[in-house]
Amino acid sequence: MSAAWRAPTRRLRPRVVLGGLALVVVVAALVELSVGAATIDVPQHLRCLAGEATGCAAGERYILLSLRLPRTLVAAVVGCGLAVSGAAMQGLFRNPLADPGLIGVSSGAALGAGVAIALEAGAELLPFGLTLPALAFAGGLAATCLVHRLAQVRGQTSVTSLLLAGIAVSALAGAVIGLLGYIADDQQLRDLSMWLLGGLGGASGDVLLVLVPTVAIACALLWRRARALDALMLGEAEAFHLGVDVERLRRRVVAEVALAVGACVAFTGVIGFVGLVVPHLLRGVVGPRHRLLLPAAGLGGAALLLLADAAARTVLAPAELPVGILTALLGAPVFLSLLARARAAEVA
Amino acid sequence: MTLRADRLRVRVGAATLLDAITLAARPGEVLALIGPSGAGKTTLLRAWSGELRPTAGAVTLAGVPLAAIDPRALARARAVLPQQASLRFPLTALEVVLLGRLPHPSRGESAADLAIAGEALALAEADHLAERLASTLSGGEQQRVQLARAFAQIWEPTPAQAQRVLLLDEPTASLDPGHAARILGRVRRFARATRAAVVVAIHDLNAGARCADRLALLDGGRVVAHGRPAAVLTPARLGRCFGAAFDLFTAADGGFAVHPRLLADETDETYEPWKTP
């Protein structure tokens, strides 16, 4: 093996990238734990987390363990789930601009949440305030199933028909949400629009109990599709020539993304741009191969949402901004500048 | 192990793309598919790759119907060069070639895979492109990188399948004459040395004739003629198939070439669909 055949050198080494990103996640988590209405410095909360009774006031202890720690974990898990799903969708659609919402899961979940809010009477359907997340999750999965069914022609789903069915189902869900908003009273309308903006205020230990296993399983399954998604980069026929059952891959990725995104959206509302921007950004750093891109996107998404939420809780403190507004406010310009730079590189 | 089509018919919707095709690609041989555009060359390659299911008849590899072979096991024995590749992700040429090793147990991640990818790139005269982004390469360069990927995919015999199949759709379409001649020569040597069954769909009749052991002339989804190049490429038959008059040129060493005449302006003075002042 001659020296010419090393792996491409213009990219960073996998260990450096993943190690670096993990470090960023840890720092972002410490920031998220520290900031807010009450500032708790890092040594202080490390003492509290370690369970030292001395030097840790009961109030601080409560804020940290019951409020901020669950919120930090939810932010990390949701950011990870959205970004991994985004990377997988971009691979599946063979389009670096694809978004996990394309398959209708977000709009279906929004519809489910809208129904839960409008039918306030049913709030006691499930314990622990889980009615809304449960309906949102069910709505997300149902919409995805519908999109997948609509996209099937003679047992085959094409990417184009999947995209079109996703747009149609999302539009339909949007219309019904509009209708629900129209008939809702003022409080319900406010709840609904707050939910649609996305926020991590609902974080709790119970949420984590459901969210962590669902997102972890979905992401682990998506990671197993990494090599098949790599083959798909060359084209659908080419992926088949490389031994990939493309139809089965498509079915699985759609189901797994619906699971991850459905669970995230159900608890936090719609948080945009994380699933679009993070994989897109990291593809430039680690390359497009999914074995590395998927875990890198997971860490990057976690870090981004942690920092975004920390910012959302400080800019208007003591009030807090819905984090979905912030990710869109920051994400859209970043995304546009990325597009402009990519275009410039193409022209040059 | 022979790749065989037996009374193969392929219909898509109302159109019959292939009909009554009985043809075999034998180990160690190059078979060239020639014929006018739309004759079914690419469709036959797609049926032989397992991508298209036969409507009637059978496609078999060593006697086993392709549909009965596990896709990944099939991919270890059969590689395909597509007519044109579209790549929207920033993969380097080397990464593209490594994807050819995906069906193998090492999944394109071992040092041996890297070595094979390097050698395959050299074989396709694309080793100097290894670190370049494939999407920034010229058409001819991309084609050589894709060819290297196909070579890498079936670089060595696998324990389960000692025989290999290489299907090439217009491998020289974007290549200059020098590259085209060298690449086709290497494809032919690859067939001889590895006992791979090689099928090349090619528009250039003379290039097909030079690199192939046998030619199959397709027209309207059927095999019109099949055999040694000199027996298939008769001016009369080519005239019927392509709708142009062909001349046959013979070289001193027994080599030959066919060439079509420019028809409209030479023989038909009245053909003037455009407006003249």
What's at B59, amino acid-wise? V
Task: Name the amino acid, one letter, at B141.
Answer: E
Nearest-by-Cβ selection for B82 from A5, A235, A283: A235
Q: Say if the Cβ atoms of A244 and B99 lie within 8 Å.
A: no
Higher pLDDT, A10 or A294: A294
In 3-state terms, what secondary structure has residue A57? coil
B46 chain-A contacts, CB cut-off 8 A: 237
Of chain A residues 219-258, which have a CB less than 8 A from chain B? Answer: 227, 230-231, 233-235, 237-238, 240-245
Q: Do A242 and B153 touch (CB under 8 A)?
A: yes
- Cα(B52)–Cα(B11) distance, integer angstroms: 10
What percentage of chain A carries pLDDT values higher than 70? 86
Q: What pLDDT shows up at residue A4?
A: 39
A109-124 burial: b if 16+ Cβ within 10 Å, else e: bbbbbbbbbbeeeeee
**Contact yes or no for A129/A135 (Cβ under 8 A):** no
Tens of pLDDT, residues B154-203: 998 877 666 899 999 999 988 999 999 999 999 999 999 999 999 999 99
Contact B84, B42 (CB under 8 A): no
Reference B221, options B15, B2, B6, B71; nearest CA is: B15
CB contact under 8 Å between A288 and B114, yes or no, is: no
Q: Which residues are within 8 A (CB) of B25 and not within 5 positions of it... i.e. 6 or more apart?
A: B2, B3, B4, B31, B48, B165, B197, B198, B199
Question: Does the beta carbon of A347 lie under 8 angstroms from any beta carbon of chain B?
Answer: no
**How does the average pLDDT of chain A come out, rounded?**
83
**Side-chain half-sphere exposure of A340, counting CA atoms within 13 A:** 6
Kindly determine whether residue B118 and residue A237, on different chains, have CB atoms separated by under 8 Å. no
Mark yes or no for CB contact B99/A242 under 8 Å.
Answer: yes
Residues of A in contact with B103 (CB under 8 A): 242-243
In chain B, which residues touch A (CB < 8 A)? 46, 49-51, 71-76, 78-80, 82, 85-92, 94-96, 99-100, 102-103, 107, 111, 114-115, 117-118, 127, 130-131, 153
- Are residues B82 and A238, on separate chains, in Cβ contact within 8 Å? yes
Measured between CA atoms, how close is A31 to chain B, in angstroms? 34
Closest-CA distance, B102 to chain A, in angstroms, reads 7
Q: Which of A5-14, A226-235, A256-265, B86-95 has the lowest mean pLDDT?
A: A5-14
Write down the pLDDT at residue A123. Answer: 54
Whether residue A315 has pLDDT greater than 70: yes
Q: Nearest-CA distance from B162 to chain A in Å?
A: 17
Q: How far is A279 from chain B (nearest CA, A)?
A: 12
Q: What pLDDT was estimated at residue B144?
A: 93
Question: In angstroms, what separates the C-alpha of A104 from chain B's closest C-alpha?
Answer: 24
Which residues have CB under 8 Å from B54's CB, separation 6+?
B8, B9, B10, B47
Residue A294 Rama label (left phi>0; alpha psi -120 to 50; beta): alpha
Question: E strands along A135-272, which residues?
Answer: 152-153, 156-157
The tens digit of pLDDT for each residue in A74-109 reads 999 999 999 999 999 989 888 777 788 778 888 898
Contact A279, A81 (CB under 8 A): no
- What's the angle, vertex CA A247, arms to CA A244 and CA A250, rounded to 5? 95
Closest CA to A38 of A20, A73, A72, A63: A63
Please judge whether A1 and B89 are an interchain contact, meaning their C-beta atoms are less than 8 angstroms apart: no
pLDDT tops 50 at residue A8 = no
Q: What is the per-residue pLDDT for B157?
A: 83
Which sign does the torsion angle of CA B96, B102, B104, B106 carry? positive
Other C-beta atoms lying within 10 Å of the C-beta of residue B231: 12
Given this model, what pLDDT does residue B80 score? 95
Confidence of residue A7 (pLDDT cuts 50, 70, 90): very low
Question: Concatenated DSSP letters for B145-187?
Answer: HHHHHHHHHTSS--SS----EEEEESTTTT--HHHHHHHHHHH
How many A/B residue pairs have CB atoms within 8 Å?
A: 93
Interchain contact, B80 vs A238, CB within 8 Å = yes
A178 and B CB contact within 8 Å: no
The phi-psi region of residue B138 (left if phi > 0; otherwise alpha if psi is between -120 and 50; otherwise beta) is beta
Q: Measured between alpha carbons, how far is B203 from B253 in angstroms, rounded to an integer?
A: 24
Integer Cα distance of A29 and A120 in angstroms: 35
Query: How many helices (H) and strands (E) in chain B?
Result: 10, 12
Summarize the confidence of residues A36-54 as an average pLDDT.
69
Residue of A nearest to B101 (CA): A242
Task: Compute the nearest-CA separation of A16 from chain B (Å).
Answer: 18
Beta carbons of B102 and A243 less than 8 Å apart: yes
**Which pLDDT value is given to residue A348?**
46
Does A54 lie at the interface with B, CB-CB under 8 angstroms?
A: no
Side chain identity at residue A108, one-letter code? G
Write out residues in chain B with pLDDT < 70, as ranges: 1, 160-162, 263-269
For the cut 90, the answer to whether the pLDDT of residue A306 exceeds it is yes
Give me the phi and psi of A342, to 5 degrees please.
Answer: -65, -40
B interface test, pick of A241, A245, A282 with most B CB neighbours within 10 Å = A241
Chain B interface, mutation test: which of A238, A247, A248, most B Cβ atoms within 10 Å? A238
The distance of B152 to chain A (nearest Cα, Å) reads: 11
Euclidean distance between CA atoms A197 and A321, whole angstroms? 9
Set of chain A residues whose Cβ sits within 8 Å of the Cβ of B71: 240, 243-245
Global ipTM: 0.90
Segment A315-344 shows an average pLDDT of 80
- Of B88, B91, B131, which is closest to A94 when you measure between CB atoms? B88
Please report the pLDDT score of residue B78 as a whole number: 93
A116 with A122: CB under 8 angstroms?
Answer: yes
Report phi then psi at A173, rounded to 5: -60, -40
Q: What is the pLDDT of residue A66?
A: 77
Q: Which residue of A has its CA nearest to B71?
A: A243
- Residues of B within 8 A of A244 (CB-CB) are 71-72
Contact status, residue A21 vs residue A13, Cβ threshold 8 Å = no
- Report the alpha-carbon distance of residue B235 to residue B248 in Å, rounded: 7
CA proximity to A82, closest of A247, A306, A310: A306
Say yes or no for a CB contact (<8 Å) between A242 and B75.
yes
Is the CB of A8 less than 8 angstroms away from the CB of B95?
yes
Q: Which amino acid is at A8?
A: P
pLDDT at position A1 is: 37
Q: Which residues pair with B219 in a beta bridge?
A: B222
Show Cβ contacts of residue A12 under 8 Å, excluding neighbours closer than 6 positions: A285, A286
